[in-house]
Structures are given as C-alpha cells and as structure tokens.
Structure 1
Amino acid sequence: MEFRTLRAFVEVVRQGGFSQAARTVFATQSTISKAVKQLEDEFGLPLLDRIGHRSLLTAAGRVVYRHGVKLLAGRDDLLAELDEIRELKQGALRLGLPPVGSSILFAPLFAVYRQRYPGIEVRLVEHGSAQLQESLSAGEIDLAGVLLPTSPDFDWHTVTREPLVALLPADHRFADSRSISLSDLKDTPFILFEDGFALHRVILDASRRAGFEANIIAQSSQIDFMIGLVGAGLGVAFLPRMIAIQRRNSSVRQVLLDDAGTEWIMAIAWRRDAYLSGAAKAWLNLVREVHGEN
C-alpha cells in the first residue's frame, strides 16, 4: 500500500467526490480514480459504492478510511519530526567528556551549543579518557574528549596542546627549578590520577622510558585532593599547565616537565566511518569554529 493511493482515497471521502479530491491534491480526476482502483485491487474489496455521481463508503471502505486517516496523520508527524531533526530543533547528542580540563575547554562550548540548539538533548557522560574510548568503541556515545595518541579506529579533531607541570611540595629540592625531568623525580613518591585516566598511562610510560618504575602512593580522580596531598609533602602530582595555573596553592610549586612524550593533547574523537547525527556534526562544527581547523 502506497501513501499516495491512500491519500487519494481519504481525500475522495473528505471532499465528497473525485473531482473535488483531485483539486485538493493537485492531480487529475483520472489519476484519483486510478489510485482508488489500485487500492481496491490491493485489498481485494470495493471501498466505494458508486451510485450515479455519488460515492458511498462500503463496510471495507469505512475501515480503510478510519485507519488511513491515522496512518496519514502519523506519516505527517514523522516527516515533521524528521524535518525538525534536520534543522536541529530536536534530537540528542551523546557526549563523553573527561573530568580533567572540561570546565575550561568544554563548558564554554556547551553553553554556546545549548544557546544555538535548545531543542537538542545533551546526554553527558563523564569518565576518564581511557574509559571514554571504550564507550566510544562500543557505540554508547557519539563523541568523546580523549587524550592523543588514541585508537586508530577513531578520527579526531585536536582541541588543545599543553605541557605538563610537576606539582611539588614547597620544600622539595627541585621546587624552585624552571623545568624538571621525570628522572629527577624517581625518588619522589607519585600521586597520580586513577588508572582509568589517560594521564595515568602517560606518566607511567614516560617514567619507564626514563628508566624507572614510579612509586605510586596515591591515586585519585579529584584534583583538589591531589594538590592537598602534594601540599602536605606526600609526593609529586602532574597536571596540564592550563589547569595547574588555575589551582595555585601556597604550599605547592609548579615546575614545567620537559620529558618528550608528556605533552597533554586533548581532542574530540569519533568512530572512523561511523554515522554522525546532525547534533553530533553541530558539536564538531562548533569545536572547529572555536579551536580552529587541524
């Protein structure tokens, strides 16, 4: 059954005749007659009892008309909703963001996005970069904020590049240095993000390249708590410079980390060759608008 033939039949009933229906749908009377005949042939039952110039509904015609009105209304609603999705008046964005850096990098974007597309529902997931990559691979989210390098299964757009700084107790022997290497810190206990955070892996990999295994005394997802542990003299922590600058503490010194491979590169990633909704594309376009093309 085609919506075209169903529409013709419904309009014949609504308008009270074939010629009136033809004018309503901008077709010829012959086209309307053929459409109704096609529908009757498909159902194997007469839908209209033609008496002279009048057409009365048969029992089957009443059933088809009743359901046809609902089907056509549902189709119109469907098309209207799809139009709204195309125009980004509704829809959903499944976005994964890491706790580290999101308040600086993504909160302003989120505000602009909500202003531009108030009808889009943003389903926000917050995890460390490593766990977000798993969710992205599984198709649970459309886009994720991740640290580079990342999986070859993803495409990405770089958001920012930042060096790391070592957060040292004020009385540490390297606290007044302009820069420092991880090998200088091999005897200092490490306070790291939990292992679900990509920054955890970055620091451990760089330590091994420097020839030692880090002595990890604490792991946390809370930046302020980690800084508090450093201020209490328990060890060294590491943060991207842009974040550390906003978390200054009189008991803690910030020293630039100069080891290769420790740059903090945040990107928005998506599955390569995956379908991206209009809502997801709009977020990517906003990222490119604010942070430039790669």
Structure 2
Amino acid sequence: MSILEKKVYYFISVVEEGSFSAAAKKYFVSQANLSKQIAQLEKEIGIELFDRNGYRPVLTDAGKYFYDKVCQLKKKEDELINGLDRFVPCAVKAGFTGLFENRELIEAIRNYQDEHSGHEIDLSRYDFEGCAKALVEEQVDICFGLESIFKRYRNIKYEILHGYDICFVCTKKHPLAKSKTVSVEQIKNEGLVILSKKFSSDYYNDFMESCKKDGYVPKINVEANSFDELILSVCLGEGVALCGESSIREEGLIAIPIEKTNHSPNYVVAYRSGPQKSNVENFLKYIRDYFATL
C-alpha cells in the first residue's frame, strides 16, 4: 500500500541512487518512463527539482527542500501503514527463488505455523530477477534466495542464513566421477554449463568473478536460461556444472566437493529498508533464530 504517488518515489530514488538510469533499474521501469514521470511531477508543482545540465542530475535549492519534506512524509506514511497492521491480521507474503533446495526453509515455516496459530505465510516462487522485483514493488514482504540477487539494491537489506558448498557436477561416465574431491586445477579446463545472463545477470557476474578469484577464465560450452536446462545439458554430456549438491536429484549425475574454491554463495533473507509490520518482524525473528541453530 502506498499513499504518496509513484512519481514521488521515483524522485526520491533519483536523489538516493544518483541518476535516472539507476533509479529506473531499481523500479524495473524504462529510464524514459521514469524521466517522464518526474517531469510531470515538476510540472504539477511548478518548479524544477533537478539541474540537468551536468553529467548527473543535481538538486536545485527547491529540489533540496522538496526532498527533505517528502522524506518526512514517507516516514510518516510508513508509520501509519505499520500502525494499522495490528488492526488487520494478514499473512506474511514471502517470495523464494527455488533454485537450490529449500528443505530448511519449508521446515522453518512449518514449525513457525505450528507454534503461532493463525499466523499464515503466503509463499510465492519466482525466478531470480522476479524475486527482487517483487520485493522492490512491494508484492511480497520478504524474500529468500541467493545473496547475488539482492546486494545491488540500496533499499533492500538482507541477512545471511547459511552458505552453500558448491560442487563439481558431472555424469557417472566422467573421468573425475569417482573422485572424493576435486581441485580447482583439475576442473579449470573443463567445458562448463552455466546459467546465462538472461537467467540472472547478477548471478552470472558473481559466477564469473568467482572463477577469476580461483585463477582461471571459464571455458563455457553452454549458457542455460533455466536450471532445468542446465541439468539437462549436463545429463546429455554437453559439459559439467558448478552448483550446490542439494539441488542435484538426477540419478545419473555425481556431485563432488571442490577444494578451496571461491564459489560459495550465501542463502539470505531479504526485506525492504525501514520499519517492518509486526507480523513480518515476528517471522523474521523466528527465521533468524531457527537458522542460527542449524
């Protein structure tokens, strides 16, 4: 729920992100659309909020005054909406990516609902990009997924719940299939099946950076647009993959631990900055405590 108009949020975002393009990415809209909305806002209030003559937009004196005041209104809006939530019981809306095994998450939710009668958790599954978008656009209250999905958003906070040990995944016919562990040196020349930029540019960039830290440029055979495509390609012998053991269910594949690799993504719970509704905060506290004991 929002009381302030969307164009006001766009204005705040341009100030805080430092550019129209960064603000547009934050809200998953085109830069042209966002610029049009802010121009409309300036027309409605009759003043220019930004000096656009330089490389980056700079607040005018009137823009600085307007920014201070709308930030105060935004704070009041958050307090109002969060205060109303105690009068209207509602489910916590949680998103998750589903790429890696979510056994721990499902078990935590079951335990929470057993211990808190009437507290519902409404789960929705998204792809990587969709998960962050749903959180930014307030379609969900919190999200569970890999750190790489959320870390570039300034208005999203996250907490690490646990890490994943990434394995070398191959068919049973692969020469390394009987190894108990493999080294980076053994796998650096293998043809890889990886998740493409189309699947998630953030995950892709993190993957390539981890390879760089391991000391090699990956040889890429296939860029898959979904995790199912990745697994199918490995099963067909089109390459090997680097992913979590818990995500491998096919009997024909082997997951072998990798020694001293920088491929170690974190599983996190993410939420928007600012005060949380009481039911969301209660659930977050339970999740923190639950994963702290694992």
Shorter-chain TM-score range: 0.5 to 0.7
1:265 aligns to 2:266 (yes or no)? yes
Residue 275 of structure 1 is matched in structure 2 by 275
AA matched with 2:183: I
In structure 1, the partner of 2:172 is 170
Larger Rg: 1
Large movers: runs of 4+ above 6 Å: none
For 2:114 and 2:83, how far apart are their aligned partners in 1?
A: 20
Q: Structure 2 unaligned segments of length 5 or more: list them.
A: 1-81
Distance in 1, Cα, partners of 2:135 & 2:221 = 29
Q: Give the match for residue 126 of structure 1.
A: 125
- Give distance in 2, aligned partners of 1:278 and 1:94: 13
Deviation string 1:82-125 (CA, Å, 9 cap, x unpaired) is 999549x8213121111123531211122223334453453323
Contact 1:90/1:121 (8 A) holds in 2: no
Aligned alpha-carbon RMSD (Å): 3.4
Q: What is the CA–CA distance in structure 1 between the aligned matches of 2:285 and 2:247, rounded to whole Å?
A: 25
**Residue pair 1:240, 1:264 contacting (<8 A) in 2 also:** no
- Distance (Å, rounded) in 2 between the aligned partners of 1:227 and 1:151: 28
- The partner residue of 1:184 within 167, 177, 187 is 187
Count the aligned residue pairs.
Answer: 207
Matched, 1:227 2:231: yes
Structure 1 residue 147: Cα displacement: 1.8
Q: Deviations over 1:17-60 (max 9, x none)?
A: xxxxxxxxxxxxxxxxxxxxxxxxxxxxxxxxxxxxxxxxxxxx
Measure, in 2, the Cα distance between the counterparts of 1:276 and 1:221.
33
Distance 1:200 1:99 in 2: 17
Cα offset, 1:182, TM superposition = 7.4
Q: Is the 8 A contact 2:167 2:245 kept in 1?
A: yes
Task: Give the TM-score taking structure 1 as reference length.
Answer: 0.58
TM-score normalised per structure 2: 0.58
Q: Judge conservation of contact 1:135–1:141 (CA < 8 Å) in 2.
A: yes
Change (3 A) 1:282 1:113: same
Give yes or no for contact 2:161–2:268 (8 Å, CA) kept in 1. yes
CA deviations on 1:134-192 (whole Å, 9 max, x unpaired) are: 33233332211132252363332221112100111222233333123277343414143
Contact 1:163 1:240 in 2 (8 A): yes
Partner of 1:285: 285
Q: Given residue 212 of structure 1, which amino acid in structure 2 is its aligned partner?
A: V
Q: Take 2:244 and 2:186, find their aligned partners in 1: how far apart are those partners?
A: 19
> Where in structure 2 are the equivalents of 1:113-262 lying within 5 Å?
113-148=112-147, 150-151=151-152, 153=154, 154-177=156-179, 178-181=181-184, 184-192=187-195, 195-196=199-200, 199-209=203-213, 210-223=215-228, 226-244=230-248, 247=249, 249=251, 251-258=252-259, 260-262=261-263
